[in-house]
Chain A
Amino acid sequence: MIEGILLGLQTVLTLQNLMLVLAGCAAGTIIGMLPGLGPISAIALMIPITYGFDPSSGMILLAGVYYGAIFGGSTSSILINAPGVAGTVATSFDGYPMASKQGEPGKALATAAYASFAGGTLAAIFLMMTAPYLAGVALSFQSADYFLMMVLGLCLVTAFSAEGEHLKALIMTFLGLSLSTVGTDITAGVQRFTFGRMDLYDGISFLLLAMGTFAMSEAIMMILRGNRQDRLKVPNIGLNLKQQDLSKLVPTVSRSSALGFLIGVLPGAGATIASFLSYGMEKRWVKNPEPAFGEGNIQGLAAPESANNAACTGSFVPLLTLGIPGSGTTAVLLGALIAYGIQPGPRLYVDQPDVFWAVIVSMYIGNMFLLVLNLPLIPYLARLLTIPQQFLIPLILFFSMTGVYLVSFNPFDLQLMVWIAFAAVILRLLSFPMAPLLLGFILGGMLEDNLRRALTISNGDLTYYLDRPITIVLLMLIVLALLGPLITQLRHRLA
């Protein structure tokens, strides 16, 4: 391993490759901030540029773009409650309230930057030490385990709801699951709930739903709430975190990075599940949070940020060691590797160790550059919140619409998004949470696929779920997650 790290350092620490890391991080951050352009688009846009470089350099650039885009998506999630990628939805739960309600956008962005850096760095270290061994563990997870892990994630959705509103959160989860079934069933090839509209054959896009339920509905809620002053009070754009904040962050980041990395290792699990699970875990772990989770709690922001970055790193494990992309983004990276004439898999570690270790070492250096690049930008980014509302709100609405339009160039998507935003506003006024809707939507397709496979493998025998220790553990966690809030309520009533 030491030789590998030294080989990686030797490859990365050249002027050209260092410049490529820097350029990748910068380009990724800018593209990630633009609505509608997430990591997948950012990497796809950069691939043609990398054809002129050798494979190590090309992968170094693309890895930098990947992290930069994730961080860029976090910025829009925090500042305007517009998560452009699924992995940054959980960031908005506490990031946006910290930036807007508490008037601490600088602290929110800095916390996200530090948490991302720590998560990515810790995960890069884990990756260095465990990549070849973890590949075997990843292979031991079967469809039933994936299904139960996703059900666990959905059950932890009660963590996002206020006391006594768990039922609303579950209803919204099922609403999200129902929306995920719109479109063409991939296995059977039949249309579901399209009502003859060709625009719905591909289903509802995640970006459309996220923008409608978060960014647009939040902008309209700002109109409904109104402000006596049309300009927000000058927010605190300071980046400095207090000692007590740092002491809270250290255990949070450690836990979330480990969880995020392990989940990222599982093919198909990805940053989204990692960020939601870590948020739920943190919410249950922290006693007497001040402020409460969902009101701008620093641990609530740091947990999903470090988890999603760690999961991004973890997703390289199946890619590099097995040749299996762990997420949509790593699928694009796999395409890039094949275009370079490299076949990822168990032989990559042996046949082309320079590529393998260069990618791993570049992650660490990329994380450092991201921090160095973005911290000076934070005061300028934070000033976005000082824009008067009569300008800020139409701009948010415009960028939300543009983001969706850029994906499909289909006016039907815009109309659908507006109606979704309208429904979301009514639901928010009735105190229905949006996050479970989005999580149910994101996981619905994967849930169905894994359930289908699990039932096919077991020939419909549900006791299959009791055959393996992993599934039994996951089942127990699900029961705890479901019963936990009920038991807490019962205890409060009896007290």
Chain B
Amino acid sequence: MNIKGLITQQRLAGLTFLAFFLLYGWFTGDITLDFWAEQELFTAQTFPYLIAVGGAALSFVYVVRPALGQPIHLDNRTWLGGIVILLLLGYSHFIEFAGFPLASALLLAVGFFVLGERRAWLIAVISISVVSTLYLILWALGIHIEPGLIGLLFEVDGR
């Protein structure tokens, strides 16, 4: 038996899905039911159990005979994609501290730089103008966004 032939990326994906649906079914048991739920035909657990069973069955069939697909190869651009994802995660944490305008301008500026733009003036102009324009449109529509650090600097509360 060719072990290496059995362990393919598609099969690993299938096993991941199988594990997910089994865990999903497991955690379905943690859903709190009211004391009268025993009398009910359909409870908060019913639909999740159906999904868990269906999903696990399909995943099992997939593991046994996976559909075709190209294997993933890692190269330089994969790491670039990873850096961008880290940048987005950083933005999602930084926005709470720095506020929407500053965090967004930095996201755009760093994103442009990471993807190859080197003209600093262009990076600054585009990132600041996009964020400012969006902020003004939202202000005109009456949608309040916390200005964050920029607001503290200019004593603006975003209203």
Closest approach, in angstroms, between the C-beta of A74 and any C-beta of chain B? 20
Does B19 reach chain A (CB closer than 8 Å)?
Answer: no
Q: Which residues of A contact B72 (CB under 8 A)?
A: 426, 429-430
Main secondary structure of the interface of B (DSSP, over half): helix
Are B85 and A167 in contact, with the CB atoms below 8 A? no
Main secondary structure of the interface of A (DSSP, over half): helix
Given A175-B55, A178-B55, A226-B77: A165 and B95 within 8 A (CB)? Answer: no
Closest approach, in angstroms, between the C-beta of A316 and any C-beta of chain B? 26
A432 to B41 Cα, complex, angstroms:
35
Does B7 reach chain A (CB closer than 8 Å)?
Answer: no
Residue contacts A-B, CB under 8 angstroms, 6 given: A188-B43, A190-B34, A220-B84, A394-B112, A425-B81, A447-B47
Given A164-B68, A429-B72, A460-B41: A398 and B104 within 8 A (CB)? Answer: yes
- Report the stretch among A257-265, A406-414, A470-478 that lies at the interface: A406-414
Are B55 and A430 in contact, with the CB atoms below 8 A? no
Are A191 and B51 in contact, with the CB atoms below 8 A? no
Are A456 and B41 in contact, with the CB atoms below 8 A? yes
Nearest to A445 among chain B residues (CB) is B47
Q: Which residues of B contact A452 (CB under 8 A)?
A: 42, 46-47
Nearest to B118 among chain A residues (CB) is A390
Are B58 and A402 in contact, with the CB atoms below 8 A? no
Q: Which residues of A contact B31 (CB under 8 A)?
A: 185, 190-193
Most buried by A among B85, B89, B100, B145: B85
Q: Which of B1-39 contact A (CB under 8 A)?
A: 9-10, 13, 17, 20-21, 24, 27-28, 31-34, 37
Are B67 and A394 in contact, with the CB atoms below 8 A? no
Are A223 and B77 in contact, with the CB atoms below 8 A? yes
Q: Which residues of B contact A417 (CB under 8 A)?
A: 92
Given A190-B33, A418-B89, A427-B13, 19 more pairs with CB closer than 8 A: A31-B141, A167-B58, A168-B62, A174-B21, A178-B51, A188-B33, A188-B37, A188-B43, A220-B81, A224-B81, A394-B112, A397-B111, A398-B107, A409-B146, A415-B93, A421-B88, A448-B47, A452-B47, A455-B42
Are A395 and B130 in contact, with the CB atoms below 8 A? yes
Q: Which of A175-194 contact B (CB under 8 A)?
A: 175, 177-178, 181, 185, 187-188, 190-193
- B-side residues, CB < 8 A to A, are 9-10, 13, 17, 20-21, 24, 27-28, 31-34, 37, 41-44, 46-48, 51-52, 54-55, 58-59, 61-62, 67-70, 72, 77-78, 80-81, 84-85, 88-89, 91-93, 95-96, 100, 104, 107-108, 111-112, 115-117, 126, 130, 134, 137-138, 141-143, 145-146
Residue from A181, A225, A406, A427 in contact with B143 in the complex, judged by beta carbons closer than 8 Å: A406
- A-side residues, CB < 8 A to B, are 31, 34, 45, 164-165, 167-168, 170-171, 174-175, 177-178, 181, 185, 187-188, 190-193, 216, 220, 223-226, 230, 388-391, 393-395, 397-398, 401-402, 405-406, 409, 411, 414-415, 417-418, 421-422, 425-427, 429-432, 447-448, 451-452, 455-456, 459-460
Query: Which 6 residue pairs across A and B have the least CB separation, nearest first?
Result: A394-B111, A414-B92, A174-B55, A431-B69, A390-B115, A185-B44
Closest approach, in angstroms, between the C-beta of A40 and any C-beta of chain B? 14
Nearest to A193 among chain B residues (CB) is B27
Q: Which residues of B contact A216 (CB under 8 A)?
A: 88
Closest approach, in angstroms, between the C-beta of B97 and any C-beta of chain A? 9
Q: Which residues of A contact B146 (CB under 8 A)?
A: 409
Are B69 and A430 in contact, with the CB atoms below 8 A? yes
Nearest to A417 among chain B residues (CB) is B92
Q: Which residues of A contact B137 (CB under 8 A)?
A: 34
Residue from A31, A34, A190, A411 in contact with B44 in the complex, judged by beta carbons closer than 8 Å: A190
Q: Which residues of A contact B43 (CB under 8 A)?
A: 188
A220 to B85 Cα, complex, angstroms:
8
Residue from A405, A421, A429 in contact with B85 in the complex, judged by beta carbons closer than 8 Å: A421
Q: Which residues of B contact A174 (CB under 8 A)?
A: 21, 51, 54-55, 58
